[in-house]
């Protein structure tokens, strides 16, 4: 299948990542169906899309007419069965293998035979997700970065059985969405998180050891390495629960102590201090 043949894109999940992916696909001219598990979460996600596009209009990145046209291409649903006419479906649910496999098995039953099934996973095996379907050659990783409408990178992850044609479709999609595309083999964490996760966990270890305050660590990494934000600000932005999911999955597969989550991270997630989305993480947000 070529990118010209993709008319309708499905997005499973309308959280931070799913809503962003739905938005950029609609802005690129695709019909978009986005699904959530209940009406409250769906409405919250759709409101987020509307607010994000309004901000793009304010900044001159999008005209008011383009915003209304894109908004008209988005349809929300609570039913997986509504993906029956999709040419491409991108999964963006919680970073947990069992949940994702259930989604892929359901999509495999519901979607037409030609449809490509993609995951926005940031660390889990694309080969394992493909094994939940009868079309592993049409399963690929499309890892967008948060916020998807702003971040310019798309990391394409190639499973053991992913077909070249599927990879080519992913690359063409990235170009259509104005993303820079990089290719990674199916290894834990791929490119970005393979390097990022040990850095973030080491920042927590520095704090636990009393080497420096989190404010000083953030300042040092911003001004010393020209990073846009320090590690603690970044962890709060990503979500500490997401970080823990990724670290645990990578440690499980690699057994490398660099990916072992520090006790402080586990305690904070247990307390519900998840970062910006919960109002408190390493920093407190009003």
Would you name the residues annotated as active-site residues? 122, 143, 155, 193
Strand partners, 77: 35
CB burial of residue 20 (10 Å; 0-12, 13-18, 19+): buried
Query: What DSSP string runs through 30-79?
Result: -EEEEE-SSHHHHHHHHHHHHHHHHHHHHTTSS-HHHHHHHHHTEEEES-
Name which of 103, 110, 74 is nearest 12 in CA terms.
103
Helix then strand then coil, % of the chain, to nearest 5: 50, 15, 35
Tell me how far apart the alpha carbons of residues 160 and 10 are, in angstroms, rounded to a whole number. 24
Helix 231-238 vs helix 214-225: angle between axes, to the nearest 10 degrees? 100
């Amino acid at each position: 299948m070529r990118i010209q043949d993709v008319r309708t894109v499905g997005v499973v999940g309308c959280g931070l990542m799913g809503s962003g992916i739905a938005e950029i696909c609609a802005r690129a001219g695709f019909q978009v169906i986005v699904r959530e598990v209940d009406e409250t979460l769906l409405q919250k996600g759709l409101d987020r899309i509307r607010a994000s596009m309004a901000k793009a209009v304010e900044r001159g990145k999008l005209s008011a007419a383009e915003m209304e046209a894109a908004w008209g291409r988005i349809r929300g649903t609570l039913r997986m069965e509504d993906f029956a006419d999709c040419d491409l479906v991108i999964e963006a649910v919680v970073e947990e293998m069992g949940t994702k496999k259930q989604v892929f098995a359901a999509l495999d039953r519901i979607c037409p035979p030609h449809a490509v099934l993609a995951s926005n996973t940031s660390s889990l095996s694309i080969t394992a997700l493909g094994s939940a379907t009868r079309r592993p050659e049409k399963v690929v990783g499309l890892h967008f970065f948060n916020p998807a409408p702003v971040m310019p990178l798309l990391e394409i992850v190639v499973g053991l059985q992913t077909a070249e044609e599927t990879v080519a479709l992913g690359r063409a999609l990235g170009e259509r969405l104005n993303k820079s595309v990089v290719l990674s083999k199916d290894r834990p964490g791929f490119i970005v998180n393979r390097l990022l996760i040990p850095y973030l966990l080491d920042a927590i270890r520095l704090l636990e050891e009393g080497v420096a305050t989190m404010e000083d660590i953030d300042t040092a990494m911003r001004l010393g390495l020209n990073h846009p934000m320090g590690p603690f600000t970044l962890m709060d932005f990503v979500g500490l629960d997401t970080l823990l999911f990724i670290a645990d999955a990578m440690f499980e597969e690699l057994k490398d102590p660099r990916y072992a989550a520090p006790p402080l991270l586990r305690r904070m997630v247990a307390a519900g201090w998840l970062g910006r989305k919960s109002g408190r993480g390493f920093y407190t947000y009003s």
